[in-house]
Amino acid sequence: MTRGTAVGGGIWVILLGWRWATEGFHEFLLAQTLFLLAPLVLVPLGLPLTAVPVRSGRVSRLYTLARVLLPIGALALVPAFVLEPPWQVRFALGLPYLLFTACAALHGLARLAGRSAFLVEELALDVALLFLPGGAVWMLAWLGDFSFLGFQGLWVLLTAIHFHFAAFGALLLVGLLGRLLWHHRASAPRAWRLHPVPAVGLMGAFPLLAAGIAGNRVLEVLGVSLYMLLLPGVAGLLFVGASRVRSGGVGRWLLVGSGLAVLGSTTLAVLWGLFRPSLVALPTMLRFHGTLNALGFVGLGVLGLRLLNPASRANVAGVVFSRLSSRGRTGPRFFERLAPPDGRQPTGLVDDFSEYARPDFDPLRVDPEVRRFYEHTASYTLWVVPDWKPGFRLGGRLWGWFARHVQQLVLPSATNLQRHGVKGAIVAVDDGADGRERVRGWIRTYESDGSPIYVAAYSSHVAGAMRYMNIAFPLPFSNMTSILRLDHDAPGGTGLRLTSCAQEEAPGGDQGVYLANPLLPLRLPLNETIWVWSAGGTPATEPPCDDPAVVLRARHEMWFFGRKYLELHYFIQRVGEADPA
């Protein structure tokens, strides 16, 4: 536990004891005290677990700024809630905390944008951070004694509490619990498979509950029902997680206490939210439901997971992206102004295919013709046959209009099974202008009219024991970067697979398709896999080819939000051996 969390916890305990001993502890004072538990203890306890280290060993600047702003904002709230100065002073004292929550939300967006794979447990942490500014806004409405969305007085403060505990705290706990279950997925596979259900459900339950309380009774009942169904499941997962912790430390028992507390608080929530008039009075809800949730479920659970500190499986930030971009159009002449000063002349997409060797990938097992293609790409020509999937052909035509306008990523026509001849050229690119190492461009144009299909800058980078192919497609003021990992096409096979998809055994790799820009690289909901085989090693499931000049075959699969929208079938020949027709 950090010093800041210990100091905040000490202040909160002193405040609680003082109010308990000297004042009538009515619901207003209890609500204020419960709220202060969030900025003084809960947020400082959980924020370090959302840090994303970069390859240099440092954390992101947004996270560092949030860590600086948090103690300032949290400590400023103490006199605002305790001393009861004029509302103008109270409002001003709440502004630093609002600034912190805005920075924390941006940190959550940066985490989400830079992640290479869809990881439910990490998404829960991102969404938790995004809820914090909402809680700060309701807090400011309370401090300024404003009416907000038809609510005023105690209801405003209770809403701020819900944003911090039912939204931020619950999702923080569920996300961290997902990390713990991932590490114990071998001994608790069913719990690991079930974890996404409450994680995703709780991300939607709180917005429904908030919208319902704002005036839509149907949404309120739906939100309460989701909490009623999901939180007992979270309790069960907490018990499973605690049972899998080998050490006999206090963290295990804190998880058990958290699970027991949420069962009690959920029962009270059901009695309050599903019946009108409610079967439980508001003071009772605040004293028991609020206390069980804040101190028991969220407090004990997050503290226990902080002590256990399960590691994230997300990728380490800091992928080196190309700095290349266009000012409008890319076109086949894009690289002419980017020639390197040393005059080097690459012949292929890689200088030496053996550089991609690693314990589970042996380049010497790959067919020699495939290896030669990547080292001497300029010695080959190809033609491509598109296979657009139903439901995406209209989208393909719309994208084609934009792509032809910017002269980049002009995918073959949505007319399926039409043959398109493609010419290619390999050119050197200045590393200083690009920002990566040993960059070369591969320009592919249609033989029919010379228009570009792809204008791409190829490089590679190493992360851990893995070398990735790093491909940038310059776009207006940005570029689309595809980072591919190389694998054998099958156990014992001589073909090659290049993919942006995360692997089950290594979901935290750098692979992915990103929109790279100076502000914030964004992981796109796109994926691609390229299979390359020698003509003789092509699977029988591929379209037949009776052209003896074809020495290599390839299949390029593309997905959008997990749905395959296009397959490109490539037929590759050596230059000089191609059919003149």
CA dist 264 and 109 (Å) reads 34
Question: In the chain, what percentage of residues exceed pLDDT 90?
Answer: 59
Banded model confidence at residue 272, pLDDT cuts 50, 70, 90: low
Q: Taking the mean position of all CA atoms in its chain, how far away is CA 21?
A: 47
- Tens-digit pLDDT profile for residues 483-519: 999 999 988 899 999 999 987 666 678 899 999 988 8
Q: Which of 37, 44, 106, 46 is nearest to 77 (CA)?
A: 37
Q: What pLDDT sits at residue 276?
A: 53
Nearest Cα to 73, choosing from 39, 45, 96, 40? 96
pLDDT range class, residue 280, cuts 50, 70, 90 = low
Question: So what's the pLDDT on residue 564?
Answer: 95
Does residue 525 contact residue 561 with C-beta atoms inside 8 Å? yes
Beta-carbon count within 10 A of 580 CB: 3
Of residues 205 and 150, more confidently modeled: 205
| Cβ pair 34, 15 in contact under 8 A | no
Question: Do residues 81 and 74 make contact, with C-beta atoms less than 8 angstroms apart?
Answer: no
CA trace torsion 143, 101, 130, 294 (10° rounding): -60
Helix ranges restricted to H, 330-418: 368-375, 393-406
Reported as a single tens digit per residue, the pLDDT across 283-303 is 665 666 667 888 888 999 999
- Which pLDDT score, from 0 to 100, does residue 206 have? 82
pLDDT at 456: 97
**581: confidence class by pLDDT, cuts 50, 70, 90:** very low
More confident site: 515 or 222: 515
| Cα 24 from Cα 283, distance rounded (Å) | 13
Q: Which residue in 232, 247, 252, 378 sits closest to 305, CA to CA?
A: 252
Q: Is the pLDDT of residue 2 over 60?
A: yes
Instruction: Calculate what percentage of the chain has a pLDDT beyond 70.
Output: 90
Report, as an integer, the average pLDDT of 181-193.
Answer: 92
The residue-averaged pLDDT of 43-63 equals 84
Say how many CA atoms lie within 13 Å of 155 toward its Cβ: 10
- pLDDT band of 258, cuts 50, 70, 90: very high
Q: Are 557 and 529 in contact (CB under 8 A)?
A: yes
Average pLDDT of span 331-357: 93
State yes or no: pLDDT of 423 exceeds 80. yes
| pTM greater than 0.85 | no
Say how far apart CA 290 and CA 273 lie, in whole Å.
14
Cα separations in angstroms, 12 against 38, 47, 202: 10, 18, 28
> At 158, is the pLDDT very low, low, confident or very high (cuts 50, 70, 90)?
confident
Say if CB 249 and CB 304 are below 8 A apart: no
Residue with the bigger pLDDT between 88 and 285: it is 88
Q: At what angle do helices 196-213 and 217-244 cross, to 10 degrees?
A: 150
